[in-house]
Amino acid sequence: MPYEHRLGAVPAGALIAAALLTAPALAPPAKAGTCPASTTCPSTVTFAVTAPDSLTISVPNGPVNIGSNTPGNQITGQLGTVTVSDQRAALTATWTATVSATGFTTGSGTAAETIPATGIAYWSGPATATTGTFVPGQANAAAAVTLDQPRTAFSKTTGSGDNSAAWNPTLIVTIPAQAVAGLYTGVVNHQVA
């Protein structure tokens, strides 16, 4: 007579025991600190200070008209408020704002219709609003610089954390004696790093 093996029902207890043997072990819950009386019982606490990590510069919307004068003379006028905002919350929160300019032209931009950037001078003046300590690029008119190359407009050389500075720079345009009449247009460029 052939041997016949029949599987019977497995007892419920055996299934539970098998499940317990194959289940991963659970980590014990974190234990609260316990200290004896009259002793310091420490709890470590953490938190994060976040920052948008931005350093930006804003300038007046153009066109900015600074006035008029005749050939061989100067035009002096203020550009409007320039503001640097440093929201990096950095340990060493330093930056330098620089300024330069294009030539200014009228008509078709011939030599007689162009005032080169060497004829455009700039002085930052003191800060008009700040949160921090800053250094003006040119504190007064005697320190004015031509904008034919990048010049320091303002800087922050020490300190930490968020900060901002604003100033209202003055432009001095020396009009060549051979300049022709017209509305001259050019660009003053600021940047910060």
Q: Are 100 and 116 in contact (CB under 8 A)?
A: no
For the chain, what is the domain count? 1
Q: What is the mean pLDDT of residues 91-117?
A: 96
**Inside any domain, residue 119:** yes
Please give the span between the terminal C-alpha atoms of the chain, in angstroms, as a whole number. Answer: 95
Please check whether residue 4 lies inside any domain of the structure.
no
Residue 144 domain-assigned (yes or no): yes
Residue 5 domain flag: no
Tell the residue number behind the tokens 């200014």, with chain if given. Answer: 104
Close Cβ partners of 16 (under 8 Å, ≥ 6 residues apart)? none
Residue 9 lies in a domain: no
| Residue with more model confidence, 10 or 77 | 77
Residue 166 belongs to domain spanning? 55-61+74-192
Percentage of the chain lying above the pLDDT 70 cut:
83
**Residue 15 is assigned to a structural domain of this protein:** no
Asked whether residue 184 carries a pLDDT value surpassing 70, the answer given is yes
> Quick check: helix, strand or coil at residue 131?
strand
Any domain includes 179: yes
Q: Is pLDDT larger for residue 49 or for residue 138?
A: 138
